[in-house]
Amino acid sequence: MPLQRNESLLSRAVTHVALGISFTILAAIAHAAAATGPTAADYEAATRLLAGNLQGLVRNESVQPHWIGESGRFWYRRDVDGSAEFVVVTAQGAKSPLFDHANLAIALSQAVGQPDAGKGALGSLSDVEFSDDLSHLSGRIGDKTVACELKAPRCRLVDTPKSDPGLLPSPMGAGSR
């Protein structure tokens, strides 16, 4: 029994000495840093971290969910290397691609008459909407409106009436009085 007590005392003593040495070293480092103060290099490094200097460096920092009815599922768009990827998330949190991105990019490029656009066609797609069953997509590439079938990707241009530049859309929706 006395041997165990001595080992316990020795162990605690070693711990206290180690903590004391660590504290002394940290205090010396803090004192040295406080004595010198920030340098011009420190200020320059901090300036590089200002919000305006970080614009465009972070992609996909947030997700804008587009809920699919009352199913608990949603889809979102994320940027990837000059293109875009559309992801569907189930109510359980499982993620999967919403469609075959490579084949849809080809179909979009052909529809808008830019066969060399490749995956970039998805990146320039805006105003995207999906049918409730996620089988069709509509959107815009530049000034062209496209409609696509997603199962066997096929896209076509859709005529959209030009709006009168002197008129604004009603905040109540089309046809309201």
DSSP string of 3-63, one letter each residue: HHHHHHHHHHHHHHHHHHHHHHHHHHHHHHHHHH---HHHHHHHHTTSHHHHTTT----S-
State the pLDDT confidence band at 73, using cuts at 50, 70 and 90. Answer: very high
Q: Report pLDDT for 80.
A: 83
Residue 141 · residue 125 · CB < 8 Å: yes
CA nearest neighbour of 141 among 99, 84, 100? 84
Q: With 60 as the cut, is the pLDDT of residue 177 above it?
A: no
Residues 11-27 pLDDT 10s: 676 676 766 777 787 77
Cα–Cα distance, 134 to 67 (Å, whole number): 12
Helix (H) or strand (E) holding 136: strand 136-141
The residue with greater pLDDT, 166 or 94, is 94
* Average confidence score pLDDT of the chain: 80
pTM (two decimals): 0.58
The strand pairing partners of 144, in sequence order, are 141
The strand pairing partners of 88, in sequence order, are 75, 96
